[in-house]
């Protein structure tokens, strides 16, 4: 059984799909907490535009890049590239580390690994899915509604 | 009024990258606005990344005079690329220049005029229309970002890029004329497909004909990017004075 409920909590068994969140609800993503965790990413929709801001870390816990309203500033040792649909950050070896890509103006894909301060994987894309492995995280916040909160 | 508009608008010639377009003076400090795609050659490499090559030989032709221009924008910044603007500096004090309109007062139906150097005309050409719509659309350079644009039925074609779209009544700039609205339908996609068919290289005249038709076959609506993006550039500084 991939999911079970107890009290007001939903418990999810790792590695199993349990429920699908509708696309009109996933209009907000927050990983980490600005000012609290060394990394954080906030992806919102404002006036029909995807707006992504944050600070991402590399595997060693050092700052990989900073994002402000989609514009990326890559740290020394990493290269940023603009594409017709977003941005990429590549390592010195040319390997892709992180990518933002918009699809048909409707879906915004985050690709690559998002690391925590100790090098632990916070979230990653896998076969077209974006998997959040560790909180704190919020999905689907809107107005006064907190959305889905992962501690 | 029209004579002043013409003197505040110039033809942009980039000798080293073989591009031409239009542009205009904003303020009395010799700052000149045009489209980024007029002063930079853009290619997409094999990995799908955008590569830019800014012109190092930019000249501005205004009436009988030609002036050398230099880029003011940060060439490493993505902002001017995404929002398709460039700020140039000319070593002249412009006698006439444009003021910026209060964009919050621009509404659908406003009468506007485009000034520029389209096609092979050697003097500024003026055309009149209205703001047909104010739209937020994905950037034609990087679709992750959206741009506030004025859709207008003003006649704008190749060479107009970078010229001003101004209010007909007050002559104040609201946008940078940027590109025609391309017809995107099944027939166009088929024609584009024919251009890339194997063997089309040997049928060069047919391929050239298709490309020519696709280039100029537009419905008559055109886009002008809101002037706000150039005005908000960190390097622009404050503006003073007006026409």
Q: Does A83 touch chain B (CB under 8 A)?
A: yes
pLDDT of residue A23: 65
A26 has a pLDDT exceeding 50: yes
In this prediction, residue B241 carries a pLDDT of 42
In 3-state terms, what secondary structure has residue B41? strand
CATH code of domain B2-97? 2.40.10.10
Q: Which tokens hold the place of B160?
A: 């107009």
Contact B79 A105 (CB under 8 A): no
Specify whether the CB–CB gap between A51 and A100 falls below 8 A. Answer: no
Task: Give me the pLDDT at residue B151, please.
Answer: 96
pLDDT given for residue A24 in this prediction: 64
| Average pLDDT of span B210-217 | 78
Distance of residue A114 Cα from the nearest chain B Cα, in angstroms? 20
Higher pLDDT: A150 or B127? It is B127
The reply to whether ipTM tops 0.90 is: no
- Residue B135 scores a pLDDT above 80: yes
Q: Which residue has the tokens 């229309």?
A: B129
- Residue B80, token pair as written in the block: 């001017």
Query: How many domains does chain A divide into?
Result: 1
* Nearest chain A residue (CA) to B138: A105
Of A47, A85, A88, the CB nearest to B143: A85
A11 touches chain B (CB under 8 A): no
B98 φ, ψ to 5°?
-95, 150
State the pLDDT confidence band at B18, using cuts at 50, 70 and 90.
Answer: very high
pLDDT score, position A2: 67
Within-domain flag for A81:
yes
Nearest Cβ partner for B49 among A49, A81, A105: A81
- Per DSSP, the three-state class of A14 is coil
Share of chain A above pLDDT 70, in %: 95
In Å, how far is A8's CA from the nearest CA of chain B?
38
For the cut 90, the answer to whether the pLDDT of residue A95 exceeds it is: no
Q: Distance from A86 to chain B by nearest Cα, in Å?
A: 5
Q: A84-93, A126-135, B37-46, B74-83: lowest mean pLDDT where?
A: A126-135
Residues 69 through 108 of chain B touching chain A, CB cutoff 8 Å: 78-79, 81-82
Mean pLDDT over all residues of chain B? 89
| CB contact (8 A) between residue A49 and residue B79 | no
B213 SS3 class: helix
Structural domain boundaries enclosing A140: 21-150
Tokens of B221: 């609506």
Measured distance CA(B41)–CA(B36) in Å, rounded: 9
**Chain A partners within 8 Å of B143 (Cβ):** 84-86, 102, 105
- What 8-state DSSP symbol labels residue A135? S
pLDDT at B24: 97
pLDDT of residue B171: 94
CA dihedral A76, A82, A87, A92 (to 10 degrees): -30
Name every chain A residue with its beta carbon within 8 A of the beta carbon of B78.
71-72, 82, 87
Q: Does B48 touch chain A (CB under 8 A)?
A: yes
Cα(B226)–Cα(B128) distance, integer angstroms: 18
Token output for A139: 């999905």
Residue A4 lies in a domain: no
Which chain A residues are within 8 Å of B44, Cβ to Cβ?
A: 83-84
Give tens-digit pLDDT for B44-70.
Answer: 998 899 999 999 999 999 988 999 999
Neighbour count for residue B73 (Cβ, 10 Å): 21
> Would you say residue A100 lies in a domain?
yes
> Does A3 map to a domain?
no
Residue B25 has pLDDT above 80, yes or no: yes
When pLDDT is cut at 50, 70 and 90, the band that residue A47 belongs to is confident
| Residue with the two structure tokens 């050659």 | B41
Give B50 to chain A, closest Cα distance, Å.
Answer: 5
Least confident of A119-128, B53-62, B143-152: A119-128
Would you say residue B226 has pLDDT above 60? yes
A7 located within any domain: no
Contact A34, A42 (CB under 8 A): yes
B242 falls in which pLDDT band (50, 70, 90)?
very low
Is a pLDDT exceeding 80 seen at residue A147? Answer: no
Q: What percent of chain A has pLDDT over 90?
A: 34
Q: Which residues of B touch A85 (CB under 8 A)?
A: 142-144
A1 has a pLDDT exceeding 60 = no
For residue B243, pLDDT beyond 60: no
Q: In this model, does residue B81 exceed pLDDT 90?
A: yes
Residues in contact with B53: Cβ distance below 8 Å, sequence separation at least 6, in sequence order:
B17, B40, B41, B42, B43
Burial degree of A52 (CB within 10 A; 0-12, 13-18, 19+): buried
pLDDT at B87 over 90: yes
Residue B239 in this model has a pLDDT that exceeds 60: no
Residue B237: the pLDDT is 66
Among the partner residues A47, A84, A88, nearest to B143 by beta-carbon distance: A84
Q: Would you say residue A16 lies in a domain? A: no
């Amino acid at each position: 059984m991939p999911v079970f409920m107890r009290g007001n909590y939903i418990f999810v068994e790792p590695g199993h799909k349990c429920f699908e969140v509708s696309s009109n609800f996933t209009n907000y993503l927050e990983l980490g907490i600005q000012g609290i965790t060394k990394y954080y990413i906030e992806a919102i929709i404002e006036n029909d535009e995807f707006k992504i801001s944050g600070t991402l870390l590399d595997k060693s816990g050092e700052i990989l890049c900073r994002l402000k309203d989609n514009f990326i500033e890559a740290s020394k040792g990493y290269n940023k590239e603009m594409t017709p649909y977003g941005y990429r950050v590549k390592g010195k070896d040319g390997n892709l580390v992180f990518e933002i890509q918009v699809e048909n103006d409707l879906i915004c894909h985050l690709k690559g690994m998002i690391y925590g301060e100790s090098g632990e994987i916070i979230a990653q894309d896998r076969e077209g899915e974006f998997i959040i492995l560790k909180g704190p995280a919020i999905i689907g916040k809107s107005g006064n509604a907190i959305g889905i909160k992962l501690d | 009024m029209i004579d002043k508009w013409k003197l505040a608008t110039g033809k942009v010639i980039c000798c080293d990258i073989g591009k031409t377009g239009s542009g205009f003076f904003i303020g009395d400090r010799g700052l000149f606005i045009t489209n980024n795609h007029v002063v930079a050659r853009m290619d997409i490499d094999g990995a799908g990344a955008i590569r830019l090559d800014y012109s190092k030989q930019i000249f501005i032709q205004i009436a009988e005079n030609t002036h050398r221009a230099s880029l003011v924008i940060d060439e490493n910044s993505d902002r001017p690329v995404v929002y398709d603007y460039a700020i140039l500096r000319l070593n002249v004090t412009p006698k006439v220049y444009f003021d910026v309109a209060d964009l919050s007062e621009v509404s659908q139906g406003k009468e506007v005029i485009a000034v520029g150097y389209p096609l092979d005309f050697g003097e500024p050409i003026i055309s009149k229309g209205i703001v047909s719509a104010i739209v937020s659309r994905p950037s034609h350079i990087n679709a992750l970002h959206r741009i506030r644009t004025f859709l207008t039925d003003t006649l704008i074609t190749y060479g107009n890029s970078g010229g001003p779209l101004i209010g007909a009544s007050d002559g104040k700039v609201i946008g940078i004329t940027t590109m025609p609205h391309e017809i995107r339908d099944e027939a166009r996609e088929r024609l584009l497909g024919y251009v890339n068919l194997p063997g089309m290289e040997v049928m060069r005249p047919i391929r050239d004909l298709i490309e020519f038709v696709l280039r100029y076959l537009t419905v008559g609506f055109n886009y002008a990017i809101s002037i706000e993006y150039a005005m908000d550039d960190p390097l622009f500084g404050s503006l003073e004075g007006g026409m």
